[in-house]
């Protein structure tokens, strides 16, 4: 089923959580809503599910307006951030709940329910946990019970609120790959909320980056990471250096460096901000042309080297990520004078 939100506005006690958000999620797509806390991503998810109602705007499932349809009638699978398992029911009873509450005409027989619960527990690899209570399970197991329970009603849409937020790093990685496989096998349309950009980039077909109640950019992980459309997306998608610059007819000047700014062909001495990722900074010998700086600290950061530098002119900090073999060509010790150049940069207007 395809999902569509059209110009959704939502206000809570005078605070505008969503300022006219529109998004289309194609059938079979795995979409991430990514943003910092307070960006409105969870509110949007809850409105899609019918857990909240929007002040204005429309929600459509397969072109059909469901704005007035209640949570109960939208029949989406919803996985809550803290799982919301029924604490007085066993795992099997939790999974069976959605089937047992159906009206008599559509309710499967007890043996049918039993069979489907067994199949679902097998699917989430918890076959032997059926008689346990939620508090006897680990976080990762609870998460899988919550998934099995949501899938029991055979939804075509799965909505997940920070599905891996409360899990430790290792379990999180395993579980998200497993979830991705599950999504593909069951041909679901899924939307999940996260504040972790790595998670969004790894898991989703497309990512919607949100900030302050608006969608900043929607695109494939590659697009939002490599071609951010706004300064916010650039900053949110990873470490970045900011340089004040002046833009003049499609070029921005950072100290002695010239950076391409094709978005501003007619600009005349406009204030701008140049964003440069740490891995797009090259260190050269001090006599070569570039931005003069001094090395302050050198760290080994996983596969590469992270260098903290200070600009000679403005005294501001710059971070650079270098490959391991960079130290062979240059003396990387604190106090060394270097010259910086950029292999990639993006200029935004500061006005």
- Interface residues toward other proteins, by CB under 8 A: 49-51, 70-72, 75-78, 80, 82, 84-88, 97-98, 101-102, 133-135, 149-150, 152-153
Taking the CB of residue 317, how many other CB atoms lie within 10 A of it?
Answer: 12
Smallest distance from the beta carbon of 82 to other proteins, in angstroms? 6
Closest contact distance (angstroms) between CB of 197 and other proteins is: 26
d(CA 35, CA 209): 6
Rounded to the nearest whole angstrom, what is the least distance from the CB of residue 108 to other proteins in the complex? 13
Backbone angles phi, psi at 109, to 5 degrees: -70, 160
- Tell which residue, 294, 279, 280, has the closest CA to residue 339: 294
The two three-digit tokens of residue 309, written as one number: 């530098």
Q: Are 47 and 26 contacting, i.e. CB atoms less than 8 angstroms apart?
A: no
Q: Pull the structure tokens for residue 77.
A: 């699978």
CB 299, min distance to other proteins, A: 40
CB 254 within 8 A of CB 275: no
Nearer to other proteins, 150 or 215 (CB): 150
Report how far apart, in Å, the C-alpha atoms of 96 and of each of 15, 73, 92, 111, 190 are.
Answer: 39, 18, 6, 11, 22
Q: C-beta of 142: minimal distance to other proteins in Å?
A: 9
CB neighbours of residue 179 within 10 Å: 22
Closer residue to other proteins (CB): 85 or 233: 85
| Residue written as token pair 């496989």 | 181
Are the C-beta atoms of residues 210 and 216 closer than 8 Å to each other?
yes
The number of beta carbons lying within 10 Å of the beta carbon of residue 300 is 9
Shortest Cβ 191–other proteins spacing (Å): 14
Query: Measured from the CB of residue 46, what is the shortest distance to other proteins in angstroms?
Result: 9
Residue closer to other proteins, measured from CB, 50 or 130: 50
Nearer to other proteins, 37 or 135 (CB): 135
Cβ distance to other proteins smaller for residue 124 or 207: 124
Shortest Cβ 99–other proteins spacing (Å): 9
CB 264 within 8 A of CB 270: yes
Residue 176 near residue 202 (C-beta atoms within 8 A): yes
- Taking only Cα atoms into account, the Rg of the chain, rounded to an integer number of angstroms, comes to 25
> Are residues 84 and 97 in contact, defined by beta-carbon separation less than 8 angstroms?
no
Let me know: does 211 contact 35? Beta carbons within 8 Å.
yes
Residue 71 or 332: the one with the smaller Cβ distance to other proteins is 71
Shorter beta-carbon distance to other proteins: residue 72 or 328: 72
Place of tokens 């109640």: 213
Evaluate whether 30 touches 180 at the Cβ level (below 8 Å).
Answer: yes
Q: How far is the CB of 49 from other proteins (least distance, A)?
A: 7
Q: Is the Cβ of residue 48 or residue 281 nearer to other proteins in the bound state?
A: 48
Nearer to other proteins, 12 or 299 (CB): 12
């Amino acid at each position: 089923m395809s999902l569509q939100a059209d110009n959704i506005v939502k206000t809570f006690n005078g605070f505008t959580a969503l300022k006219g958000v529109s998004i289309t999620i194609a059938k079979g797509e795995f979409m991430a809503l990514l943003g910092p806390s307070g960006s409105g991503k969870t509110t949007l998810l809850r409105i899609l599910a019918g857990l909240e109602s929007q002040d204005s705007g429309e929600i459509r499932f397969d072109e059909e307006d469901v704005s007035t349809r209640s949570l109960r009638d939208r029949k989406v699978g919803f996985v809550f951030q803290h799982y919301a398992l029924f604490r007085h029911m066993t795992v099997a009873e939790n999974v069976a709940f959605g089937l047992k509450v159906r009206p008599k005409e559509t309710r499967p027989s007890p043996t049918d329910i039993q069979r489907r619960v067994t199949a679902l527990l097998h699917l989430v690899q918890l076959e032997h946990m059926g008689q346990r209570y939620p508090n006897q399970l680990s976080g990762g197991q609870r998460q899988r019970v919550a998934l099995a329970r949501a899938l029991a009603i055979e939804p075509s849409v799965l909505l997940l609120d920070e599905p891996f937020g409360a899990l430790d790093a290792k379990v999180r990685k395993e579980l998200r790959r497993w979830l991705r496989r599950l999504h593909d096998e069951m041909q679901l349309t899924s939307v999940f909320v996260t504040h972790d950009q790595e998670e969004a980039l790894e898991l989703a077909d497309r990512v919607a980056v949100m900030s302050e109640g608006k969608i900043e950019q929607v695109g494939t992980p590659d697009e939002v990471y490599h071609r951010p459309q706004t300064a916010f997306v650039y900053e949110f998608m990873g470490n970045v250096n900011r340089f004040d610059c002046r833009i003049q007819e499609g070029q921005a000047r950072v100290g002695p460096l010239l950076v391409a700014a094709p978005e501003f062909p007619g600009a005349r001495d406009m204030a701008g901000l140049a964003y440069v990722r740490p891995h797009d900074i090259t260190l050269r010998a001090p006599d070569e042309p570039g931005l003069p700086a001094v090395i302050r600290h050198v760290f080994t950061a996983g596969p590469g080297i992270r260098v903290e530098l200070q600009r000679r002119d403005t005294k501001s900090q710059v971070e650079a990520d270098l490959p391991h073999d960079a130290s062979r060509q240059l003396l990387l010790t604190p106090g060394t004078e270097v010259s910086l150049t950029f292999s990639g940069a993006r200029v935004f207007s500061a006005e």
